[in-house]
Amino acid sequence: MVSIIFHAVGRFFLTIVFGVSPVKQVDDEQCIIVANHNTHLDTLVLLRLFPLRRLHKVKIVAAKDYFSKGCIGFLGRLFLNLILVDRGSGKVDEALQPLRQALQDGCSIIIFPEGTRGKPGVLARFKTGVGVLAMEFPEIPVYPVLLRGIEKTLPRGRFVPIPFNIGISCTSPEYGKDYLAEQGSGGRKKLVAALEEKVLGLSRL
Amino acid sequence: MKPLHMVLLSALIGLSAGMLYKDGDVSMLALMGVIVGLLLFFSIVWRVMQWRESLMAEEIRDRTLTWWWMVAVFLLALSTHKIVSFVFLGFLCFAALREYFSMLSMADTNDKAELAFADRLPVFFCYAAIPVVIFVCYIEWYNLFVILIPVYLFLLMPILLILQNRAKGTMKSLGVLSLGLMFFVHNLGHCLFMINMGAIVLLFCFTLTEVRDLLSFWVGKGLAVLAEKMADSQVKRGLELRIAPDVSPKKTWSAGILSALIIAALALLFVPILPVFPDGKITYSYCAFVGFSIGILGLFGDLAFSMVKRDAGVKDSGTALPGHGGIIDRVDSLVFTIPVTFHLIYWSYF
């Protein structure tokens, strides 16, 4: 309940201060959101894709080395359903285990496949973890989402957010089932490439 | 339109009408009636167009719906308490300024982009100036209001850049920042001080400016059709003389001046409902002059932001208002007309 009030207030605040454009909410029961990552605000803006009553079934994938300590980590763990993933351990399969669990429990997940906040306004190569998940749960839609303008509000290494307009664009989903025919890891790679292409395509509009 | 939206919209308009009725503000009520009447007219127009399967029906519907909401919120903000009006108009300035900074590109250095990431600090101070403007307008400190932005904030910008220890690209940054400050905090901010003259003066300027925007489109179209039918002559060439083809290919001098004259005539209708100022009631000739200035300046306001948008390489400044584009696309002419209308009236009647 407290969390819902927090999110409602947060949404209102984001609209007033950052002029977040109105967005059509995702109406699937369960989905994976794939987005470009530039700032800590990304997560809060992406949660608008879900109605408030479904927020408790949305989990956000975050880096363990960053969010397990410090002030931002504490706030993040307090208000958001974070799944902390060990990045750079090399064991992809082990790292993905909590995400599998979440999807099996019927939760939606938000994932930033760039793996890091990266250079402002530049899309880095997607990591393939999201491809693995999409192939294992072929019926769950994967929505590519682009956040624009957000890299100005809170670039990496700065701490005070400054208001600039934030836009969200979402496009048609990709399904793992469309790629099952491919041999070996081919389907996974094609799926990730297709997602990357869609996000890039949105940024060119 | 969803029924829920319809109910909410009627509630907003009803509430402001009720508030105006309680205050006995007959002139505001009359103006409000005219505006709502116009919107009803356009709502019927798009339904007729949709029935005839006209191509423009969709666009006119979106525009009219957005107009309904803008008018409802605006009238409510003006008819409640003075503080509400101030905060609302301050927010309008903020939203326009934010949209201006957002449509400019930003990179580590501003060699190729318009702004550098280091400019986020001065941008913050531009935003922070708006609450100060609201306060100064609220206490009606005219002398500070007219110099706050052009002197103090303008000088603060280079000081901030010096403190950031920057040398490269500062002239470009300063230009972009000062433009934003002057357009959206100072000039658009005059609408805040105008509230002190009476909300009806602000509504007078707003209505005429927006009507001019609408009108110039149709007048331009009408004159283009007229010129097409004519044989080649001096008159035809005169009618087709364009103001600045590279900035906006369709705007002609003839359409601009004709709409300014129509606006001057429309301004006369406002004379009976404008309040009595300290130095007397506005005369018909002076009101027509103010109307003509609004007509001409509105034209250049429109063109100025076409120019800025072309230079920044964007088509629409934003997506805040469906059917209109961004907030800047709606307030562009106001940036030019509001300060001049304010000072024309202030000099002669205060």
Tens digits of per-residue pLDDT, B50-87?
A: 888 777 778 888 888 889 999 999 999 988 888 999 99
pLDDT for A94 equals 77
pLDDT tens by residue, B313-324: 887 777 777 777
Say whether pLDDT at B133 is over 90.
Answer: yes
The tokens for B86 are 């101030």
Of the ranges A84-93, B129-138, B194-203, the best mean pLDDT one: B129-138
Amino acid B63: pLDDT? 85
The tens digit of pLDDT for each residue in B284-293 reads 999 999 999 9
Closest CA to B97 of B50, B133, B130: B130
Q: Does B109 touch chain A (CB under 8 A)?
A: no
Q: Where does the pLDDT of residue B27 fall: very low under 50, low under 70, confident under 90, or very high at 90 and above?
A: confident
- Position B3 scores a pLDDT of 80
Taking an 8 Å cut-off on Cβ atoms, the answer to whether A162 and B120 are in contact is yes
What pLDDT shows up at residue B105? 87
Mean pLDDT of B132-146: 94
Total count of domains within chain A? 1
Of the segments A157-166, B204-213, B239-248, which one has the largest average pLDDT value? B204-213
A176 touches A140 (CB < 8 A):
yes
Evaluate whether B346 touches B88 at the Cβ level (below 8 Å): no
Neighbours of B162 (CB within 10 A): 11
End-to-end CA distance of chain A: 39
Q: Is the pLDDT of residue A142 over 70?
A: yes
Percent of all residues in chain B with a pLDDT value above 70, rounded to a whole number: 99
Nearest CB partner across the interface for B102, out of A149, A155, A160: A149
Work out the average pLDDT over B184-203.
92
- Tell me the Cα Rg of chain A: 16
Angle subtended at Cα B188 by Cα B185 and Cα B193, rounded to the nearest 5 degrees: 95
The pLDDT score that the predictor gives to residue A38 is 83
Nearest-Cα residue of chain A relative to residue B92 = A16
* pLDDT value at B106 more than 80: yes
Q: Which residues contact A75 (CB under 8 A, 6 or more apart)?
A: none
Closest chain B residue by Cα to residue A163: B98
The answer to whether the CB atoms of A165 and B318 lie below 8 A apart is yes
Mean pLDDT calculated for residue range B321-329: 81
Q: Which of A43-47, B1-5, B105-109, B296-300 has the highest mean pLDDT?
A: B296-300
CATH number of the domain bearing residue A147: 3.40.1130.10
Q: What is the pLDDT of residues A143-152, one digit of tens each?
A: 999 888 888 8
Q: What element of type H or E holds A32?
A: strand A32-35
Is B279 a residue whose pLDDT tops 90?
no
Q: Please say if the pLDDT value at position B346 is more than 90.
A: yes
For the residues B148-169, what does the mean pLDDT come to? 93
Cβ atoms of residues B44 and B57 within 8 Å = no
Q: What is the pLDDT of residue A64?
A: 78
Chain B contact for A125 (CB, 8 A cutoff)? no
Residue A89, pLDDT score: 67
Is B307's pLDDT higher than 70? yes
Q: Which residues of A touch B107 (CB under 8 A)?
A: 121
Residue B204 banded pLDDT, cuts 50, 70, 90: very high
Note whether B98 contacts A120, CB cutoff 8 Å.
Answer: no
pLDDT at B135 over 80: yes
How much is the average pLDDT of A119-143? 83
The torsion angles phi and psi of A69, rounded to 5 degrees, stand at -140, 170
Answer yes or no: is pLDDT of A90 > 70: no
**Chain B contact present for A165, CB below 8 A:** yes
Please report, for chain B, the start and end positions of each structural domain, with discontinuous segments joined by +. Answer: 1-80, 82-196, 198-349
Domain around A123: 2-12+21-204
Kindly give the pairing relationship between strand B115-116 and strand B106-107: parallel
B197 pLDDT higher than 80: yes
Of A47-51, A132-136, B265-269, highest mean pLDDT: B265-269
SS3 A62: strand
Q: What's the pLDDT score for residue B145?
A: 94
B137 pLDDT band, cuts 50/70/90, is very high
Rounded average pLDDT over A63-78: 77
Out of A121, A151, A163, the one facing B127 most closely (by C-beta) is A163
Interface check for A158 against chain B (CB to CB < 8 A): the answer is: yes
Question: In terms of Cα–Cα distance, which of A13, A12, A22 is closest to A169?
Answer: A22
**Planar angle of CA A116, A118, A120, nearest 5 degrees:** 140
**Cα–Cα distance between B83 and B296 in angstroms, integer?**
32
pTM of the complete model beyond 0.80 = yes
B99 part of contact set with chain A, CB < 8 Å? yes
The predicted structure's pLDDT at residue B300: 94
Q: What is the pLDDT of residue A25?
A: 80
Tell me the mean pLDDT in the region A190-202.
86
Asked whether residue B1 carries a pLDDT value surpassing 70, the answer given is: no
Task: Place B176 in a pLDDT band, splitting at 50, 70 and 90.
Answer: very high
- The mean of the pLDDT values for chain B is 90
Q: Which residues contact A179 (CB under 8 A, 6 or more apart)?
A: A134, A135, A187, A188, A190, A191
**B20 and B200 Cβ atoms separated by less than 8 Å:** no
pLDDT tens digits, one per residue of B30-40: 889 999 999 99
